[in-house]
Amino acid sequence: MISKKNKALVAGILAAATSASAVMPTIGSAANSYASEGGANKSYAAMFESLYDDVMTNGEKNGYLSSQNNGGDSFGIPYHAVETLVIEAPDYGHETTSEAMSYIAWIAAMHDVLVEKGQISGSNDLDKAWTTLEAIIPGWSKATSDKLEYGTIWEQERLKADTAEEGDLPDAYPTSQPGVEAINPYYSIFKSAYGSDNGYYLMHWLADVDDWYGFGGGNGKFTFINTFQRGEQESCFETVPHPCIEDLKYGNTDKEGDNGNGIKAIFNGLNKVPSQYSFTNAPDAEDRAIQAIYFANRYGVNTGELSALAGKMGDQCRNDMFDKYYKAIGKGTKITDSSAGAGTGSNSSQHFLMAWYTSWGGAYKASYGNYGWAWQIGCSHSHQFYQNPLAAYALCYDSKINAGMKAKDATSDYEESLKRQLEMYLWLQSVDGPFAGGCTNSWRGRYETYPSGHATFYDMAYVPHPVYADPGSNHWIGNQVWSTQRLAELYYDVVTNGDKSGGMKVGGLSIEDALDALLSRWIEWFEENTKFDYTDPETGKYMSYAIPSNLDWGKDDTDYTCTPDTWTGTYDPNGNQSLTCKITGYGQGDIGCVSSLCNTLIYYAAAKGVDSKYAYEEGSSVAEKGLYLANRLLSMQWEGGRDDIGLAYEDCNGSLKRVFEQKVYIPDYYKGEMPDGSKLEPGATFLSIRESYKKDPMFQELQEVYEATGETEDYKYKLHRFWHMGDALMSYGGMALLYPDVKPIGVEPPTPDTSEGTTGGTATLWGDANCDDKVNLADAVLIMQNKANPSKYTIKAQGELNGDVDENGNGLTNKDALKIQQFMLGLVDSLEP
């Protein structure tokens, strides 16, 4: 009898065997009619136009955009994905994020630049996209039915918050409070500059577009919501959704005077919650929006007042440059310490990096008067992938954007931030190439003493996975490609337009030299580790191309032997010998990550002046190889992933079983209900507090699979994420703009192995047909592929010797592949003939 695991292996073998004779078609073949429809595959400009038409022009029809908009001339509000069953950062696909809003501005900027350059037809869409973006800025949103007076935040004498510890697990909440006030040292300068505005010009990170949860009263209107609240181990599956406008209508409705419970009592404690509003930004989104305006300005698009609005947004993102409770940056800081000041001095709480967030809020209605108090906090934890030196550079040196920063010291702060962000990348680059996680000023979220000898950056402690540990925040390859795209675009800008910083030194290097050092090592690693005609040795899944999808840093997520050196202020190209990463997964289905990688390669090649001929042949330099890799990947992705509404590959996700099994901690003291009647009480699960999912057709399909198998790997689906389409559009547009003569290509067959035949040699490892020093399913698949198409799937002479395990001496046949399969299944004990 074959076990479940071996049945999966057999299925993988059969699937791989089926694909063994498949040859990747060239662009323009009949293999995918969607890819060639209307001549869309004839140029990168045409590819951009085709996808833009699906995602933006016909976005409502195709499900990317809601029928709701932000009033006036705006697009429909983008969903996180066309599909509904999506649980990653959002817990429902038809939520939206500040990330999605920043992408709508970014791709509209690319659209307008291509129109400006005459590469595509159309009119200005950037103004329309920015108006859409403002739907997720609380004081500017016309989409929401909540009309609060957010400008009352400027009526405070000071902006302060209560200090609280961060817990290791959700069941540690509510956590203890030491009774120390946290006071924002920049409140007065923002109040002076923006006191007439309706609150901060910052995006809240999450909203329920169609009020699926019902916190907006079930009227189907755009509603601000939040989820993550309880420490680094709180995965999306363990969150409790709640409204940003906590008017105590839902959850526990008991009330004592001005204090009640609502849903926030789960996090804050019983009878301690007054009616209030609260919001949280994610500054990588604001920075992407600023990047969009800077891009448009560089290419002559008339951005009008949008430049000043981008400047205002960036100015107020200085709130993200501060420690969570405004405590001094340093090893000896304790949770009981008072708040510190700003600047570069020894008693400053300003780290100048883009932290994970800033949060702010205030009172709503009370017997003693409405809007009577307000609060704000920063964040002690900074992740490398939230940094955007390109946006910092734009805020400093684009005169139109810079003019929008009205508060004191904005330019000098961003000049220091630009320097520190680039230094952070120099500090965190592994000897391999990818970047490690980040740093914190609050060890374990409680300002505990750093471990002895621990690596630091400006007295902040190294952390492999800042903010989130389920899963660790720096495993996903998106954290590499997103951040490095910004570095490559900045590099191109500095090389082609000159360094406007006046000679800023970063770790002893010029900005240009620092970026070149970072990019060359990072890109070379991706070139060496991108695969074609790849078969996953664990699952047997065949992929025509694959990039690394998951990285491990050390033997586990808290392995501090895998660490950078302490930053000294000077870059050492031979440093960080203890900082390495290991590839633990490959994939091709992450459209956005593949596209962002290609965007990076294109900008780097253009900065290096690579000739367009290297888009069709592999050159010798890192930049030349990069342009060829970008063209291959983008061409294959378009051919393999293009469908009737966008780009997507079939996928599966074993972690979706947590929908049915994941417990969600609710304190013993709490009992209440969600708007749809879902129970909030001890013993809750992800699904029990989201009963509305049971009406969802995608969920129903998932449930059928789970009930039949107890797992979710066999549930197959496609997701058309809005940000995936955004990164694809930016890569197509980038190629059209920087290499307008380059056309998409098919995959050229590899050069046949010209080494001599198998006579006269001996096997080094029986069964190792691909010569990777191990025997697994990939060897059997390679033999079958070789027999089906020997000119495409070549085997080295040594591999032919190793693989000849059945009737040795007769050369490779499918019988050899079969024997390797039998060995993998434990049906034969040895491969030696």
Are the C-beta atoms of 227 and 206 separated by less than 8 Å?
Answer: yes
Tokens linked to 101: 């809003």
C-alpha closest to that of 48 among 623, 738, 748: 738
Q: Could you give the CA distance from residue 833 to residue 804 in angstroms, rounded to a whole number?
A: 8
Fill in the amino acid letter for 637: Q
Q: Could you give the CA distance from residue 194 to residue 150 in angstroms, rounded to a whole number?
A: 12
Beta bridge partners of 528: none
Are the C-beta atoms of 240 and 666 separated by less than 8 Å?
Answer: yes
Q: Could you give the CA distance from residue 152 to residue 195 in angstroms, rounded to a whole number?
A: 9
User: DSSP 3-state assignment of 470?
Assistant: coil
Look up residue 161 and give its DSSP letter: E
Look up residue 27 and give its DSSP letter: T
Place of tokens 């799937």: 793
Q: Could you give the CA distance from residue 660 to residue 673 in angstroms, rounded to a whole number?
A: 19
Q: Could you give the CA distance from residue 303 to residue 305 in angstroms, rounded to a whole number?
A: 6
Kindly provide the residue ranges of all beta strands, DSSP E only, lying in 165-222, ordered along the sequence: 181-183, 206-208
- Provide the annotated active-site residues: 99, 284
How many helical (H) and strand (E) elements, i.e. helices and strands, does the chain have?
Answer: 23, 25
Are the C-beta atoms of 329 and 146 separated by less than 8 Å?
Answer: no
C-alpha closest to that of 352 among 186, 579, 510, 475: 186
Q: Could you give the CA distance from residue 661 to residue 22 in angstroms, rounded to a whole number?
A: 40
Helices marked H in 608-657: 622-641
Tokens linked to 572: 């050492």
Q: Could you give the CA distance from residue 57 to residue 816 in angstroms, rounded to a whole number?
A: 54
Contacts of 1 (CB under 8 A, 6+ apart): none
Are the C-beta atoms of 480 and 530 separated by less than 8 Å?
Answer: no
Q: Could you give the CA distance from residue 194 to residue 197 in angstroms, rounded to a whole number?
A: 6
Q: How far is CA 707 from the centre of its chain?
A: 32
Tokens linked to 306: 């949008």
Handedness of CA 77, 82, 84, 90 (dihedral sign): negative
* Number of Cα atoms under 13 Å in the Cβ half of residue 368: 8
Q: Could you give the CA distance from residue 511 to residue 516 in angstroms, rounded to a whole number?
A: 9
C-alpha closest to that of 287 among 414, 174, 408, 183: 414
CB atoms within 10 A of CB 343: 16
* Number of Cα atoms under 13 Å in the Cβ half of residue 578: 12
CB atoms within 10 A of CB 582: 13
Tokens linked to 31: 């293999």
Q: Could you give the CA distance from residue 521 to residue 349 in angstroms, rounded to a whole number?
A: 33
Q: Could you give the CA distance from residue 396 to residue 72 in angstroms, rounded to a whole number?
A: 32
CB atoms within 10 A of CB 661: 12
Q: Could you give the CA distance from residue 797 to residue 770 in angstroms, rounded to a whole number?
A: 10
Are the C-beta atoms of 56 and 69 separated by less than 8 Å?
Answer: no
